[in-house]
């Protein structure tokens, strides 16, 4: 690769001769790792013309660098970064620009911290990854996805997708969701009541921003998906973390000055309990009574392989009180980042304006690819295949759990891709999880799911969406052993 | 297409017989436009099994709908939505769920309104689209883009890209930006000092959220990119709109209690003035004096076809005081939604945490495709080709402007893809723009660029990135005529 002449600038304030400046620029490029061994430098003629200096100055600088072994010359082909050039420190270039700023003072807000844990990026290297919410590449219909992406990359589609959508969505995708996806959850919605988001997480974030501020009160399930709780906390509202039971969120525990209720009725996250029909109605009545909005996260609704799915809470809503969040990232692959919000038109109008300000719209090509994947039936086939495999793994993992005497804390009748587990009292699952990593086992400690008030240390989550059935038993044996050591 | 059995639910509270319920469900599906003419209904056996009712109930319901012409029967092939079925109103289904909510009260904040205008989505239908910031599909290297996307869709990449990146970016893209893109702007940055965003707009939004709140003060150029001003205003900070002159933002006008300075030194948006080197240094000194952060939007830096680009403001920054926003959406196509932020590590760390909360990360496949397009050299070729075409168009448009006696308000020496124009005093460019639409001409009224205090009505912007050179003169003739009518 040739080094572009455009990377060279003369600094009018620089100390020293022009020749020295050029030498420094090149040495700095090599030391910082920007110029690499074997890369070709611009010809002296070209660089001299670019900088508006005489060619001899450049030639002298090159000759000097040659002598110092930064460069090597290959006769007429020109100058190259030498094999013997000083090796840059592993990507820590000499910082020209210092940092004189007091960032603690300059930053108006902090978003680090919170309960959301950092997960291991290298989880694929582990032999027993009981990790949740990651893709199992072996289950994904990669061939048809590629064909759909190709179709969306075709000349005709491309012209449309390259467009700035301003605040709009791909009409093909919206139509499919309205006509096919939502009816399966018992929901009827017009295009004006649907917004495409960058995953369900983005949908929930938008909802928090629109409905909460420091004068509002939110009810969140406890335990709950930690990132949602972080999003709620970031709005600085009052947060009630309400312990769930075997029916999910208990409506009578919701205080009457609550403005927004967040819940996961299909199967509670992380306990997997499904909210019975009677309680759903109670919840809607309670929300109506206290005039609160309900936000329903219907994550993984397609994975109800243990029983027929109950219709969504939104489908029972006759007042426009429920805002519904769905996702394609979970059922396809998480790197996709595509989900949607369904709600009353005035709400969606504001959500669209907020999204437009934050990021305009999700990339057009991604939306169109999903629209094709859905409308050609590949999505449904994928879901059926995945559900079948997860169903099989579920049987294997339940057997292994019984065999090794472990305890399931949440026995759901829904399905899904994880189990909520309880270790003996006094066991710190976070410590155990750390120790298990050395045995190539990943489990997810349960503590971050709990609000600070009721934080419990002896719970953990076992995901089975990324581990082959054949490894489950051996992995559980290691977990059982580690738990015994406490 | 067959209607899936999954879209049918029985409501345990429904009035009437089971047969009536089924009839209603189907009629509602047809009336709402969900079930379309010619679509096949589930067999009576299948639907009965799904709902757990007797098959004769379903058959009776179907027979009734047949009589009412909702359905038609094709002997053994089953039941279909009839050609004579009632036509749904154009996508306004009977709303089962009313809206009993007082959204004005429920919504904690409003994001509609603001200065950002709605642009015509159908601008491609216009013969003379002097629109700014849209893609000219004829200039784009679609073939190589498709190859890069295909490569990123390959089995090996796909496994990596389907991953949840949590808060990380594609390392390939980051490396290219650090080694090749930023050095061309005179900037040295480590990976920890770079964050990929959903376009430059998303980069600026993140910056506003991190640096501003109601106790802070921001300086914004006047006129300026309206969406940026909206983003700043949404933080509820104090906003000073500072009139620019031929050197861009005048540093001495920045009040000493300013916390954040937003600017576009390469060529001011929308006036296109380039900030001279001397003023850049003054600006940095002023910021240092009052301890303010500078946010540099280096939009379109690749399009400096009228002269060599000056290094970025960030490249002169020795204190870590400048935050730099760049974009690939402008130089490739706006539907791409990909940009980046460069700043001190503590700032980028917070920006990463905020982005993770809002949307986790930009889609992996989009990042990788751009990384390939860049590293295979297609991007540079694309830039050169585009700059050449824009240069030619610029000559044509300047000629036509002289010929028709129009006035350029901002004579930049940079290049870019637009001209900032002044109509005679008293002319309302917004009205003229509306009238011109009837002649198939799009111009962009200038009023939304100005802060409320100094709003001027007789400016407009002429973009030349989407109009073929051959149509420029005829379009300008129409503009000149419309301006004469005032």
Q: Which of A421, A437, A465 is nearest to A130 (CA)?
A: A465
Q: What is the pLDDT of residues B112-144, one digit of tens each?
A: 888 899 888 889 899 999 999 887 888 889 999
Who has greater pLDDT, A49 or A90? A49
Q: What is the pLDDT of residues A365-381, one digit of tens each?
A: 999 999 999 988 888 88
Q: What is the dihedral of CA B295, B300, B303, B307, to 10 degrees?
A: -20
Q: Is B98 within a domain?
A: no
Specify the pLDDT at position B368.
93
Q: Do B359 and A199 touch (CB under 8 A)?
A: yes
Q: Which two tokens stand for residue B90?
A: 């154009």
Who has greater pLDDT, B23 or B259? B259
Q: Do B188 and A96 touch (CB under 8 A)?
A: yes
Specify the pLDDT at position A88.
61
Residue range of the domain that includes A201: 141-378
Residue of chain B nearest A151, judged by CA positions: B146
CATH code of residue A76: 1.10.10.10
B13 confidence band (pLDDT: 50, 70, 90): low
Specify the pLDDT at position A93.
41
Q: What percent of chain A has pLDDT over 70?
A: 97
Checking if the pLDDT of B95 tops 50, the result is: no
Specify the pLDDT at position A94.
41
Q: Do A158 and B135 touch (CB under 8 A)?
A: no
Q: Which two tokens stand for residue B72?
A: 């038609």
Instruction: Say yes or no: B415 and B373 in one domain.
Output: no
Across residues B10-25, what is the average pLDDT?
76
Query: Structurally, how many domains does chain A consist of?
Result: 3
CB B318 within 8 A of CB B310: no
Give B245→chain A minimum CA distance, Å. 24
Instruction: Say yes or no: A154 and A258 in one domain.
Output: yes
ipTM of the complex: 0.85
Checking if the pLDDT of B97 tops 70, the result is: no
Instruction: Say yes or no: B179 and B190 in one domain.
Output: yes
Instruction: Say yes or no: A267 and A412 in one domain.
Output: no
Residue of B14, B111, B212 best to disrupt the A interface, most CBs of A under 10 A = B111
Q: What is the pLDDT of residues B20-72, one digit of tens each?
A: 888 878 887 887 777 888 889 999 899 988 888 889 899 988 988 888 788 89
Q: Is A107 within a domain?
A: no
CATH code of residue B387: 3.90.1150.10
- Bridge partners (DSSP) of residue A40 are A2, A80
CB A414 within 8 A of CB A275: no
Who has greater pLDDT, A28 or A358? A358
Checking if the pLDDT of A46 tops 70, the result is: yes
Instruction: Say yes or no: A432 and A311 in one domain.
Output: no
Specify the pLDDT at position A29.
82
Instruction: Say yes or no: B314 and B364 in one domain.
Output: yes
Residues of B in contact with A293 (CB under 8 A): 101, 106
Instruction: Say yes or no: A314 and A339 in one domain.
Output: yes
Q: Is B296 within a domain?
A: yes
Checking if the pLDDT of A302 tops 60, the result is: yes
Q: How far apart are the first and last CA of chain A?
A: 56
Instruction: Say yes or no: B338 and B445 in one domain.
Output: no
Q: Is A405 within a domain?
A: yes
Q: Do A168 and B198 touch (CB under 8 A)?
A: no
**Domain termination site, one of A351, A378, A405:** A378
Instruction: Say yes or no: A242 and A319 in one domain.
Output: yes
Instruction: Say yes or no: A226 and A346 in one domain.
Output: yes
Q: Is A218 within a domain?
A: yes
How far apart are alpha carbons B77 and B42 in whole angstroms?
A: 11
Nearest to B162 among A33, A118, A140 (CB): A140
Give B412→chain A minimum CA distance, Å. 21
Q: What is the pLDDT of residues B171-186, one digit of tens each?
A: 999 999 998 899 889 8
Across residues A432-452, what is the average pLDDT?
96
CB atoms within 10 A of CB A121: 13
Instruction: Say yes or no: A423 and A438 in one domain.
Output: yes
Across residues A225-253, what is the average pLDDT?
97
Q: Which two tokens stand for residue B85?
A: 């079925």
Mean pLDDT of chain B: 90
CATH code of residue B182: 3.40.640.10
Q: What is the pLDDT of residues A383-395, one digit of tens each?
A: 888 999 999 999 9
Q: Which two tokens stand for residue A230?
A: 């972080």
CB A274 within 8 A of CB A266: yes
Residues of B in contact with A37 (CB under 8 A): none
Checking if the pLDDT of B89 tops 70, the result is: no
Give B154→chain A minimum CA distance, Å. 8
How many CB contacts within 8 angstroms connect chain A with chain B? 317
Q: Which of B452, B442, B435 is nearest to B115 (CA)?
A: B452
Residue of chain B nearest A230, judged by CA positions: B357
Specify the pLDDT at position A86.
72
Across residues A250-261, what is the average pLDDT?
98
User: What separation in angstroms does the CA of A466 have from each of A483, B393, B416?
Assistant: 22, 54, 49
H or E stretch covering B418: strand B418-422
**Domain termination site, one of A378, A395, A418:** A378
H or E stretch covering B391: helix B378-403
Q: What is the pLDDT of residues A95-128, one digit of tens each?
A: 455 788 999 999 999 998 888 998 888 898 999 9
Of the listed ranges A429-433, B40-44, B351-355, the least confidently predicted one is B40-44
Q: Do A318 and B96 touch (CB under 8 A)?
A: yes
Residues of A in contact with B93 (CB under 8 A): 188, 190
Across residues A4-31, what is the average pLDDT?
78
Instruction: Say yes or no: A161 and A282 in one domain.
Output: yes
Checking if the pLDDT of B93 tops 70, the result is: no
| DSSP secondary structure of A310-357 | PPPGGGG-SSS-EEEEEESTTTS-GGG--EEEE--HHHHHHHHHHHHH
CB A81 within 8 A of CB A37: yes
Nearest to B110 among A234, A336, A350 (CB): A350
Phi, psi at A197, each rounded to 5°:
-130, 170
* Cβ partners under 8 Å of residue A78, min gap 6: A40, A41, A43
**Domain termination site, one of B378, B408, B441:** B378
Checking if the pLDDT of B388 tops 90, the result is: yes
Q: Is B205 within a domain?
A: yes
Q: Is A22 within a domain?
A: yes
Q: Is A112 within a domain?
A: no
Residues of A in contact with B308 (CB under 8 A): 50
Specify the pLDDT at position A358.
96
Q: Do B103 and A347 touch (CB under 8 A)?
A: yes
Checking if the pLDDT of B92 tops 50, the result is: no
CB A387 within 8 A of CB B147: no
Q: Do B344 and A99 touch (CB under 8 A)?
A: yes
Phi-psi region at A275: left, alpha or beta (left = phi > 0; alpha = psi -120 to 50): beta
How far apart are alpha carbons A211 and A221 in whole angstroms?
A: 17
Checking if the pLDDT of A91 tops 60, the result is: no
């Amino acid at each position: 690769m040739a080094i572009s002449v455009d990377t060279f600038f003369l600094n009018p304030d620089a100390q020293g001769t022009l020749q020295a400046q050029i030498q420094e620029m090149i040495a700095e490029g090599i030391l910082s790792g920007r110029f690499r061994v074997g890369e070709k430098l611009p010809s002296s003629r070209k660089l001299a013309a670019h900088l508006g200096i005489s060619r001899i100055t450049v030639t002298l600088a090159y000759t000097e660098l040659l002598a110092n072994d930064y460069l090597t010359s290959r006769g007429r082909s020109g100058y190259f970064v030498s094999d013997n050039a000083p090796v840059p420190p592993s990507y820590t270039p000499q910082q020209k620009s210092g940092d004189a700023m007091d960032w603690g003072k300059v930053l108006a807000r902090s978003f680090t911290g919170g309960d959301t844990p950092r997960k291991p990026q290298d989880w694929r290297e582990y032999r027993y990854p009981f990790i949740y919410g990651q893709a199992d590449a072996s289950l994904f219909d990669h061939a048809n996805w590629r064909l759909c992406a190709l179709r969306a990359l075709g000349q005709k589609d491309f012209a449309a997708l390259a467009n700035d959508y301003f605040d709009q969505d791909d009409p093909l995708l919206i139509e499919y969701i309205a006509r096919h996806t939502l009816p399966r959850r018992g929901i009827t919605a017009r295009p004006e009541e649907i917004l495409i988001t960058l995953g369900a997480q983005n949908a929930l974030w938008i909802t928090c921003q629109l409905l909460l501020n420091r004068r509002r009160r939110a009810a969140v399930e406890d335990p709950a998906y930690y990132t949602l709780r972080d999003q709620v906390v970031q709005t600085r509202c009052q947060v009630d973390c309400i312990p769930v039971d075997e029916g999910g969120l208990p409506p009578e525990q919701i205080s009457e000055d609550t403005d927004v209720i967040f819940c996961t009725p299909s199967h509670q996250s992380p306990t997997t309990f499904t909210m019975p029909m009677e309680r759903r109605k109670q919840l809607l009545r309670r929300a109506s009574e206290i005039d609160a909005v309900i936000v329903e996260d219907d994550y993984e609704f397609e994975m109800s392989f243990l029983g027929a799915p109950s219709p969504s809470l939104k489908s029972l809503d006759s007042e426009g009180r429920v805002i519904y969040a769905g996702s394609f990232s979970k059922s396809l692959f998480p790197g996709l980042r595509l989900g949607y919000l369904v709600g009353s038109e005035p709400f969606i109008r504001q959500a669209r304006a907020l999204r437009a300000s934050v990021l305009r719209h999700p990339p057009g090509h991604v939306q169109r690819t999903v629209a094709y994947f859905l409308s050609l039936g590949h999505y449904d086939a994928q879901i059926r295949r995945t559900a079948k495999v997860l169903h099989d793994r579920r049987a294997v993992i339940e057997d292994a759990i019984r065999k090794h005497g472990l305890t399931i804390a949440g026995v759901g009748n829904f399905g899904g891709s994880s189990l909520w587990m309880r270790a003996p009292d006094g066991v710190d699952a976070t410590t155990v999880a750390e120790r298990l990593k050395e045995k190539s086992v990943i489990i997810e400690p349960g503590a971050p799911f709990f609000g600070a008030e009721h934080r419990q240390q002896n719970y953990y989550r076992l995901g089975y969406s990324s581990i082959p059935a054949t490894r489950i038993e051996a992995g559980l044996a290691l977990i059982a052993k580690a738990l015994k050591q406490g």
